[in-house]
Amino acid sequence: MSDQTTLGQGPLSKTTLYILLSLGSILMLLPFLWMIISSFMTNHELLSINPRVFWPSTFQWNNYYRAMQVAPFGRYFFNSFVVAILGTIGELITTILAAYAFSRMKFWGRDILFAILLATMMVPNEILIIPNFITIANLGWVDRFEALIVPWLASVFSIFLLRQFFLGIPIQLSYAAKVDGCSDFKFLWYVMVPLAKPALITITLLTTISSWNAFLWPLIVTNITEMRTVPVGLAMFRGEAGSQYDLLMAATVLAVLPMFVLYLIMQKYIVAAASRSGLKG
Amino acid sequence: MNIQLQNLTMAFNNNPPTLKGINTTIKDGQLASLLGPSGCGKSTTLMLLAGLYKPTEGKILFGDKDVTNKEAEHRGIGMVFQNYALYPHLSVLKNIMFPLKMKKVPKAEAIERATKMAKLTQIDHLLDRKPGQLSGGQQQRVAIARALVKEPELLLLDEPLSNLDARLRLEMREEIRRIQLEVGITTIFVTHDQEEALSISDKVILMNDGEIIQEASPLDIYKTPNSIFSATFIGSPPINMIKDGDKILGIRPENLKPTAEANSKFSGTVTYRETIGRDTLIKVKCGENTLNALLETGDIVNFGDTVHLTAEKENIYNFDASTGRRV
């Protein structure tokens, strides 16, 4: 007999588990809920001494329209979309090519090069910001899309993730593909990439989300309003609009929305990928 | 297309060579098997033929063309792998069509040719399935169809039957031979199973330790082994090897027959007896040797009996004890 107790065993511990999980999700959801509710209130309601925390007296849909008017959020969204989409596509391309080279091609110094690449992961991003900024400034890229996109076109973490996935694909498949008339590139495109779909979806999600949420770098390399991304725009708006929390909340809801939609679309792939990984390759 | 190997040598990263300069020719339309224990170099030879490895020395000729330095994708061969190596994300039809897609064959023609191949390998009812939904035997057939669809001049099979269960193995063995004869393609078949090699091939190339020991038709290699290795590797139950001075005598179990005459060399008591279907195998302890003999129906011998065994002179092979060669 084992004296181990497993979570979820028996009705009592199951109840405990659900209570804990519910508390956790309430803790996670409450700020979001508050944000959404607040975005529909008037600033007066928000700041009153007896705030109507849970429901606005009337839904101020107008807040969203006004928020878009007081700052060029349309432009911010456009910038953020351009940066996120081009950055993600670019990163996927470099990641696929590099991961293939590091997992399947034989060239001199490959493993040492990969080790060096991995070592760069130990360097905190904050240290890189100054040299990166100097480079960008020397290239004359300040206040240009290049500055927002190019430095993030390759990610060591993504390369590492995909390389490990590629290594798990049996070598016989590459032999078979060669015999069937594939060059390295065709094999990569027709066999490896479709097989690595779960890993590629993970990379796409992580890259898009971090690009969308990036704050410090866009803040440093953009000075003019037209080049701000959504997070920078929001921060500036907070400074410029002072205490207009209703508009700030409305703008924030809009900023979160695209990632929320992206997650909804990708969710089924994420679940599918997780369940598939349990089966034998 | 005749296949020629000339002084083919392969050493991996300065290790002692896995393949020590082998020479052989496989004639157009033949099915040749490369037979040998694991590590004998048979799979290496196949990978060299496919162009997936590059030899350290020597030449490979397809017809009169030297293909030694040609990449695998340009050699135009078909190959079936031990684990089939089907593309898991593609349907059966798309798997078979894949080599044609790489050759940019128009889609309609590719579908037609793939379907024809699927009919030949009897999987035309499975075209929409994914490889994961197929049994081992079915996957095997898909792999063969994929290998043959571009109508290569050479088909390579790397231990294609070793992942199948015994009954399926027999069935697929016949299937491979049937398809090979129907298409008339030169085929090289790697196996470590002597029975498989003997049953399916036109020519058996027996290898050991990176060298070719003997190459002959299945019947010849069985009846006239040129060495102790050849004699002992081929045949089941294994050949009896009896030390006799500086010679070793080899007698196949089916050639040892009970006789009424007392014979001092091959007399002893039966220590084991088993009947499998129509065959009865006995083990007879004769001095320091234990001999296997396969009895014919009608010979009644029981456990513990004393028997005298004899063999025709032509069925006794003499080997030199020091060189291991036939004398």
Q: Tell me, what amino acid is at B178?
A: R
Q: b/e per residue, B24-57, with b = 16+ CB within 10 A?
A: bebeeebbbbbbbeeebbbbbbbbbbbbbbebbe
Q: In which element (H, E) is residue A114 found?
A: helix A110-119
Nearest residue, CB atoms, A172 vs list B76, B78, B81:
B81
pLDDT tens digits for A220-233?
999 898 899 999 98
Q: How far apart are CA B120 and CA B144, in angstroms?
A: 10
Mean pLDDT of B197-205: 94
Per-residue model confidence (pLDDT) at position A281 = 36
pLDDT band at residue B277, thresholds of 50, 70 and 90? confident
Sequence-distant (6+) residues with CB within 8 A of B185 are B29, B78, B148, B152, B153, B154, B155
Q: Which of B45, B52, B56 is nearest to B5 (CA)?
A: B45
Judge whether residue A164 has pLDDT over 70: yes
Q: State what percent of residues in chain B have pLDDT above 90.
A: 61
Name residues 33-92 of chain B within 8 A of A (Cβ). Answer: 50-52, 71-79, 81-83, 85-89
pLDDT tens digits for B228-269?
999 999 988 899 998 888 889 999 999 988 887 776 678 888
Q: Work out the minimum CA distance from A201 to partner chain B, whole angstroms.
A: 16
Q: How far apart are CA A36 and CA A73, in angstroms?
A: 18
Integer-rounded Cα radius of gyration of chain A: 24
Per-residue model confidence (pLDDT) at position B324 = 87
Q: How far apart are CA B203 and CA B221, in angstroms?
A: 9
CA distances from B114 to A41, A190, B100, B145, B146 (A): 66, 18, 9, 8, 8
B contacts of A194 (beta carbons < 8 Å):
89
Give yes or no for B304 touching A (CB within 8 A). Answer: no
Q: How far apart are CA B132 and CA A280, in angstroms?
A: 10
Nearest residue, CB atoms, A186 vs list B76, B102, B150:
B102
B contacts of A180 (beta carbons < 8 Å):
73, 98-99, 102, 146, 150
Q: In which element (H, E) is residue B31 found?
A: strand B31-35
Nearest residue, CB atoms, A173 vs list B50, B72, B85:
B85
Candidate from A46-50, A227-231, B128-132 with smallest mean pLDDT: A46-50
pLDDT band at residue A270, thresholds of 50, 70 and 90? low
Mean pLDDT of A105-125: 91
Optimal mutation site among A180, A186, A190, interface B, most CBs of chain B within 10 A: A180
- What residue in A sits closest to B50 (Cα-Cα)? A179
β-strands B240-244, B247-251: how paired?
antiparallel
Per-residue model confidence (pLDDT) at position A9 = 58
Mean pLDDT of B107-116: 94
Judge whether residue B190 has pLDDT over 90: yes
Nearest residue, CB atoms, B85 vs list A170, A183, A194:
A170
Q: Work out the minimum CA distance from B76 to partner chain A, whole angstroms.
A: 7
Judge whether residue B313 has pLDDT over 90: no
Grouping H, G, I as helix, E, B as strand and the rest as coil, residue B133 is helix
Cα B153 off chain centre by: 20
Q: Tokens 């993970």 — which residue?
A: A202
A contacts of B82 (beta carbons < 8 Å):
172
Mean pLDDT of A56-74: 83
Optimal mutation site among A165, A178, A179, A195, interface B, most CBs of chain B within 10 A: A179
pLDDT band at residue A52, thresholds of 50, 70 and 90? low
Per-residue model confidence (pLDDT) at position A3 = 46
Q: Work out the minimum CA distance from A280 to partner chain B, whole angstroms.
A: 10
Q: Are A216 and A231 in contact (CB under 8 A)?
A: no
Per-residue model confidence (pLDDT) at position B279 = 82
Judge whether residue A211 has pLDDT over 50: yes
Per-residue model confidence (pLDDT) at position A2 = 44
- What residue in B sits closest to A182 (Cα-Cα)? B73
Nearest residue, CB atoms, B52 vs list A178, A181, A190:
A178
Give yes or no for A278 touching B (CB within 8 A). Answer: no
Q: What does the mean pLDDT of chain B come to? A: 90
pLDDT band at residue A279, thresholds of 50, 70 and 90? very low
pLDDT band at residue B295, thresholds of 50, 70 and 90? confident
Q: How far apart are CA A23 and CA B130, in angstroms?
A: 44
Give yes or no for A176 touching B (CB within 8 A). Answer: yes
pLDDT tens digits for A240-254?
766 788 888 888 898
Q: How far apart are CA A162 and CA A200, in angstroms?
A: 7
A vs B, Cβ pairs < 8 A, gives: 62
Per-residue model confidence (pLDDT) at position A241 = 65
B contacts of A183 (beta carbons < 8 Å):
73
B72–A175 CB contact, under 8 Å: yes
Q: At B49, list the tokens.
A: 């033929």
B83–A194 CB contact, under 8 Å: no
Q: How far apart are CA B135 and CA A161, in angstroms?
A: 32
Sequence-distant (6+) residues with CB within 8 A of B27 are B2, B186, B202, B203
Q: Please, which residues bridge with residue B189 across strands?
A: B33, B157
CA distances from B277 to A138, B270, B273, B274, B280 (A): 88, 20, 13, 10, 8
Judge whether residue A8 has pLDDT over 60: no
The interface predicted TM-score of the complex, written ipTM, equals 0.85
Nearest residue, CB atoms, B85 vs list A175, A182, A281:
A175
Beta carbons within 10 angstroms of residue A136's beta carbon: 20
Half-sphere exposure of B254 (CA within 13 A, CB side): 9
Q: At B120, list the tokens.
A: 């030949």
Sequence-distant (6+) residues with CB within 8 A of B45 are B5, B8, B19, B22, B34, B190, B207
B contacts of A186 (beta carbons < 8 Å):
102
- What residue in B sits closest to A281 (Cα-Cα)? B88
CA distances from B71 to A244, B101, B156 (A): 69, 18, 16
Give yes or no for A9 touching B (CB within 8 A). Answer: no
Q: State what percent of residues in chain B have pLDDT above 70.
A: 99
Nearest residue, CB atoms, A179 vs list B72, B83, B86:
B72
pLDDT band at residue B296, thresholds of 50, 70 and 90? confident
